[in-house]
């Protein structure tokens, strides 16, 4: 069978006269299917490539994705971390969405230097069966609207056993280990790719197995948004958006609360509140601006930004927006309802409702997993004290006095400070140590000294001089509370605290394994609309890959779909159908 591909850079071609030395980044969006019910999850993958070299790229680590409605308003926004040449995640469709077409657009910070038309786009259709769909009835059927209710159904075409778009040809094949399957039976899928000369093709793909009625064959899935113009390759202006090759950039401006003046050339810190000491130190510029590169920041986290020097009048921080605030004139097109395949779409709606009803029972034990702690910025401490290993003392003042001989409490300018006894007996530290609680530096320690010791889990001691860029600390004391949420202390108005949404935490696609009789005969129904999703489905040097999954309880026609980018920068999409009886 023939497998059609298009060059990953065809839609982004740079005409003669453009700057060939300027790096251009491109993205490609893949979803598990094309048609969804409001309230379902969209499983997506984003491939990265170099437009000039037409090769997969590992340039930006942070990818931004948005779901846009027909008015170009973002309905859902998320960030994805990419450790290689692609990233994957999920979009939970709000159950309040109206039926219609929606655009998923994706970009990187570096791509913000170019027109929005250069972003990656993909169209999906959403059906909300619980809201009015009168405005979506095909105008050609309005004359017969009162005669039948079938005009309110979605039209979906079902393709031939194996289909692909047509452009440049590559030989590809999807094979099943059986001609058809029974409910909950094991399904074996084999994929092979080779070029016209017969040589195997390595590719970074996604594999999805879905109900055929939820795969739209009327639209060309490899194409960009209709009407997309080719840009000349020049940036909108001088490159004002920095790339993110290491981690997410958090930037903004810090100002005095009373005077509104920026804090110029001020030493500041950014901390992530938690059970680890995740902290960075920097300096504002001559306009009060700052920039931090944060690695491994996932999910909602509380961040703290504060100046080193305490200011009675306080300060406030204006963070720069993470997402693009401008939009192209691209639209996803109209979404009409038809009577064809109405029964199958209604079945998909019922399947979603049944699956949601039994989800807590089916996935019991897979939820509420705590994300792994981030790493302490200072590495391994000189000494780690776990307070549960000692007798319980009244407060931290007593802890320091009784079990921390390397730490002294002294007073300076009518304030208490910690000083660490240097490991070198011939040299003593002159300055106070850097003191942190739940990853946040403290400007004064009076409240910490009175904190009950039972609230503290551990204390890390770095008893040597620590260098961080231009900053030098005469030792570090890091106190981690049992709750790790900074609620044991009160902070003044110089401290800016805010919940910040990092990259989406990875979520594993649920796919049951019916290998034992108790699972095969379980009375928990299995009505999955998407049977399988693997965003890391790759063919090796031999051009082959395989997967194993299990059929659901629902008979009908299903499609196995592979989509992605080959190692030489060509896009691939291919689908083949099978049946569950």
| Interval 273-316: pLDDT, tens | 999 999 999 999 999 999 999 998 999 999 999 998 877 778 89
Sign of the Cα pseudo-torsion (381, 293, 60, 330, in order): positive
User: Residue 82's beta-bridge partner residues?
Assistant: none
pLDDT digit string (tens) for 531-553?
999 999 999 999 999 999 999 99
| pLDDT recorded at residue 141 | 55
| Per-residue pLDDT tens digits for 177-197 | 999 999 999 999 999 999 888
215: nearest Cα among 261, 269, 257, 156 = 156
Whether the Cβ atoms of residue 171 and residue 193 lie closer than 8 Å to each other: yes
Highest-pLDDT range among 215-229, 245-259, 364-378:
245-259
| H helix runs in 112-210, sequence order | none
Running DSSP on this structure, what letter comes out for residue 402?
Answer: H
Q: Tell me the three state secondary structure of residue 345.
A: helix
Predicted confidence (pLDDT) at residue 63 exceeds the cutoff of 90: yes
d(CA 64, CA 67): 11
CA 527, 529, 535, 536 torsion: positive or negative? positive
- E strand segments, 157-288: 162-164, 168-176, 180-181, 186-194, 203-211, 248-256, 267-272, 278-283
Residue 581 pLDDT > 60, yes or no?
Answer: yes
Task: Write the pLDDT tens digit of every residue in 69-128.
Answer: 988 899 999 999 998 999 999 999 999 999 889 999 999 999 999 888 889 999 999 998
465 burial level (CB within 10 Å; 0-12, 13-18, 19+):
middle
Using the predicted structure, report yes or no on whether residue 19 has a pLDDT greater than 50. no
Mean pLDDT of the 406-428 span: 82
Enter the pTM of the model: 0.86
Contacting residues for 253 by C-beta, under 8 A, at least 6 apart: 262, 284, 287, 288, 289, 290, 317, 318
């Amino acid at each position: 069978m023939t497998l059609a591909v298009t060059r990953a850079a065809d839609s982004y071609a740079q005409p003669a006269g453009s700057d060939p030395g300027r790096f251009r980044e491109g993205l490609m969006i893949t979803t598990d299917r094309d048609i969804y019910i409001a309230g379902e999850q969209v499983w997506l993958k984003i491939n990265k490539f170099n437009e000039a070299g037409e090769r997969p790229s590992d340039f930006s680590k942070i990818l931004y994705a948005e779901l846009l409605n027909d008015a170009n308003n973002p309905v859902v926004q998320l960030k994805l971390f990419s450790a290689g040449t692609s990233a994957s995640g999920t979009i939970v469709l709000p159950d309040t969405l109206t039926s219609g077409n929606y655009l998923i657009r994706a970009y990187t910070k570096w791509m913000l230097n170019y027109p929005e038309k250069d972003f990656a786009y993909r169209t999906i259709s959403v059906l909300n069966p619980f809201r009015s769909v009168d405005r979506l009835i095909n105008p050609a059927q309005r004359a017969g609207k009162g005669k039948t209710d079938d005009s309110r159904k979605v039209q979906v075409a079902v393709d031939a056993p194996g289909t692909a778009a047509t452009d440049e040809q590559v030989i590809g094949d999807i094979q099943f280990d059986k001609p058809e399957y029974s409910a909950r039976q094991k399904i074996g899928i084999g994929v092979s790719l080779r070029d016209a000369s017969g040589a195997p093709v390595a590719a970074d793909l996604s594999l999805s197995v879905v109900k055929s009625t939820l795969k739209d064959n009327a639209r060309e899935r490899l194409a960009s948004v209709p009407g997309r113009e080719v840009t000349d390759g020049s940036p909108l202006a001088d490159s004002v958006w920095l790339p993110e090759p290491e981690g997410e950039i958090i930037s903004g401006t810090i100002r005095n609360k009373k005077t509104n003046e920026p804090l110029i050339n001020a030493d500041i810190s950014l901390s992530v509140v938690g059970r680890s000491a995740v902290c960075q130190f920097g300096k504002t510029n001559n306009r009060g601006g700052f920039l931090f590169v944060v690695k491994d920041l996932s999910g909602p986290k509380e961040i703290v930004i504060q100046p080193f020097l305490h200011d009675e009048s306080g300060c406030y921080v204006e963070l720069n927006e993470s997402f693009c605030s401008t939009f192209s004139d691209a639209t996803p097109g109209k979404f009409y309802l038809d009577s064809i395949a109405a029964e199958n779409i209604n079945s998909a709606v019922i399947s979603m409702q049944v699956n949601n009803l039994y989800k807590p029972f089916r996935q019991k034990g897979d939820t509420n997993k705590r994300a792994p702690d981030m790493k302490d910025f200072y590495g391994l401490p000189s000494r780690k004290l776990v307070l549960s290993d000692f007798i319980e003392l009244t407060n931290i003042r007593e802890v320091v006095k009784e079990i921390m001989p390397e730490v002294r409490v002294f007073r300076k300018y009518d304030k208490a400070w910690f000083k660490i006894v240097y490991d070198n007996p011939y040299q003593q530290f002159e300055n106070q140590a850097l003191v942190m609680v739940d990853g946040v530096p403290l400007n004064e320690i009076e409240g910490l000294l009175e904190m009950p010791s039972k609230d503290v889990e551990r204390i890390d001691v770095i008893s040597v001089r620590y260098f961080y860029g231009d900053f030098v600390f005469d030792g570090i004391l890091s106190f981690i509370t049992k709750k790790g949420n900074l609620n044991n202390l009160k902070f003044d108005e110089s401290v800016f605290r805010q919940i910040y949404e990092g990259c989406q935490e990875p979520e594993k696609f649920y796919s049951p394994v019916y290998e034992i009789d108790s699972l095969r005969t379980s009375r928990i129904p299995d009505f999955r609309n998407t049977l399988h999703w693997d965003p890391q489905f790759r063919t090796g040097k031999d051009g082959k890959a395989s997967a194993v999954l299990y059929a659901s309880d629902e008979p009908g026609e299903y499609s196995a779909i592979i989509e992605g980018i080959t190692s030489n920068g060509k896009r691939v999409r291919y689908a083949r159908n099978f049946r569950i009886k």
